[in-house]
Each structure stands twice: as C-alpha cells, then as structure tokens.
Amino acid sequence: MATTVGDIVTYLQGIAPLYLKEEWDNPGLLLGNQGDPVSSVLVTLDVMEGTVDYAIAEGISFIFSHHPLIMKGIKAIRTDSYDGRMYQKLLSHHIAVYAAHTNLDSATGGVNDVLAEHLQLQHVRPFIPGVSESLYKIAIYVPKGYGDAIREVLGKHDAGHLGAYSYCSFSVAGQGRFKPLAGTHPFIGKRDVLETVEEERIETIVEGSRLGEVITAMLAVHPYEEPAYDIYPLYQQRTALGLGRLGELATPLSSMAAVQWVKEALHLTHVSYAGPMDRQIQTIAVLGGSGAEFIATAKAAGATLYVTGDMKYHAAQEAIKQGILVVDAGHFGTEFPVIDRMKQNIEAENEKQGWHIQCVVDPTAMDMIQRL
C-alpha cells in the first residue's frame, strides 16, 4: 500500500501536536490532499520559489517546512505574484505542504531542545510557561462495524492526543435501544418499532479549542440520523511544554568564551552580542527564531546568557539594563539545526513503517539576511 500524505501528517502531528501552537500561528497541512501518495519528502525551514522549483525537478511530493507557507487569510491568488506562482506550481504538481512552527518550538525534541543539545546544555527545561487548555472527553455511540470510520475522523482532527501518542481512544461494546417516530428516516429499524442494536461506545479526549471542529467532523461521517454522543468537561488541563529552554554548561565559561562557543557550536560565521562581558557563564537560556522580547524572562529564570535571534537595537539596550549577556545567533542560525533532526526523525519512521520514501534537506535553504 502506498504511503499517503495522511500517513506523514499523522506522524508529524505526533512529534509536534497542534495543541502546542501559539494562538496566532497556522501550522498543519496547508496545501494538499490527505489521500495523495507520497514518494519523497523535502525538509526545509522556509518554502520559497527555489524550494518549489527544486521539489518539482526532483519529483518530490511532500514538503515539510518550519515556517508556514500560509500564515494569514488569502484574499487573492495572482499567478503574476511571487506567492501566486508558488501556489500554482505546488497545486499543479500535486505537492503537499505541511508546517510545524511554534508547536515544534515547544515540542520535546523540537527547535529549542535541538538548540540546547548543540550547546551541550544539561538539566534542560522550559523557561517560558506553556498555556493551559481545558480538556473534554467525548463518548460517541455508533452501530457495530462503523467504529473505525469514527476513530479515523477523530484522529485526523487531532482528538485523542496524549503526550507523544495520537489517535488514542477507548471502546466498549453494548446495546442501544430506540424507537423511530413519525417523520424520521432511520438508518436501522422501522418507525414505531422498538429496536435493539449492537453498538460501540467510543471515548476520546479533545482540547476545548477543537471541540466544535471535532464534533462537526464526527457528525459528518456518523451513519445515524440523530447520533447520540456525550461531552464531559475534565478536571485536568493540558499544559503546553512552554517556549524556550534553560540549561547549564558542564563547566563555566567567561563571557567572551561563551559567545565564541555559541558561534562554533552552531557552525556560524558571525554572531552579534550585547550585555555585560565580565560574568562567568553557566546557566544559558535559548529560544530559536525571534526571542528578543523574552530577555527579561530569561534573566528572571536565572540565565546569565540568552541565545536567540532577531535582536534589535533597543533589545540590546534591554540586555544591558537587565544585566544579561544576549547572543543573537540569527533567526536562521538558531532554527535550522532542527531541520537535520526532522530529516533523521522521518527517516527513522520510514524504516519503522516500511514507507519506502526518500527524505532530503532542501539544498536551496539559506539565511535570507546576507552580510559582507
């Protein structure tokens, strides 16, 4: 059986569940059909026209990117524009595009864990608390033989996520009883006759923000005219792991040695830095991408060095005021390490599942900011 877009999506959502995303973000399957076959995956930080052209030339059918191809609502698709040309090429060549953005930032083994690994930090933990979200249990009653269809649609809409596990549910067999009344069109039974039906009760959990979507999707495939289901609010809440990571070096370094270490560990040709240069550095906070707004948070967490990207002039002032050394290793420099890790992850799952797909890192990927 051919590996499908849906197979890859299910795996990726297990690595970086969508509930970990920030409210403003737009990760997930952004282009493509869940049922389309996949023979090869291209892993990249950004989807640019060069990425798309490479994918077409190499016959690649699935692109995984960290930054979403589509972030906000599209009001027009003009094929004489940069984005419009990309959309046209992707659609005409049946190339699916999936993004894991802030959910991959927070996920275990994601952007910030990989960044912490490169810096050889120990005792790593989040330093920006995650957001708690209400959880609900839904119990759905379905006639025998139709449970798999219900479980599949629940999983596709991100119900049943428990940690690093997806498609989680519990089922028990039982009997349902009902009498169809006048005006009904029963899927099973006859009007005015009490029916006893072998049924299955399917239970799973879902975040409050996705509850409406999951129920709508379930109702669309349920065979009954009037499906029976229960919704239970749960006492426990789901807390995202949180953005950023905090950890310690095995041996303290001087400020300048720590700056040099960041540059070497991330294989960079340059870094920028601001803040006091007379400290011993051991506790380090990291946040890949744009993290200058969390300078004070990193300081409050006990960090003497904060590694992030996109530091502007006034953020450098804040570093001096807070008394914390900040190294700007670039947006690209702090996030690209996870791309190699994602390639390794997909290759490992390919071997485990017997998908027989190829996975490559985008050779056109580059830091958008060039320097003399």
**pLDDT tens-digit map of 91-123:** 999 999 999 999 999 998 999 999 999 999 999
Task: Give burial (CB, 10 Å; 0-12/13-18/19+) of 371.
Answer: exposed
List the CATH code of the domain at 109-128+240-328. 3.40.1390.30
Residue 46 assigned as binding residue: no
Cβ contacts of 202 within 8 Å, gap of 6 or more: 139, 140, 141, 142, 147, 150, 151, 154, 169, 170, 171
Would you list the domain boundaries of the chain?
Answer: 3-99+334-359, 109-128+240-328, 132-235
50: tokens are 């060069």
Grade residue 19 by pLDDT with cuts at 50, 70 and 90: confident
pLDDT surpassing 80 at residue 256: yes
Known binder of ligand: residue 335?
yes
Q: What is the pTM of this model?
A: 0.77
CATH fit for domain 132-235, picks 3.90.1150.10, 3.40.50.150, 1.10.3720.10, 3.30.70.120: 3.30.70.120
Q: Are residues 216 and 159 in contact, defined by beta-carbon separation less than 8 angstroms?
A: no
What does the alpha-carbon distance between residue 188 and residue 197 come to, in Å, rounded to a whole number?
8
The 10s digit of each residue's pLDDT in 307-331 is 999 999 999 999 999 999 999 999 9
Q: Is 331 annotated as a binding residue?
A: yes
66 known ligand binder: yes
Q: Report whether pLDDT(240) > 70.
A: no
**Residue 91's CB: how many other CB atoms inside 10 A?**
12
Tell me the Ramachandran region of residue 327: left when phi exceeds 0, alpha when psi lies from -120 to 50, beta otherwise: beta
**Matching CATH topology for 3-99+334-359 and 109-128+240-328?**
yes
> How far from the centroid of its chain's Cα atoms is residue 206's Cα?
16
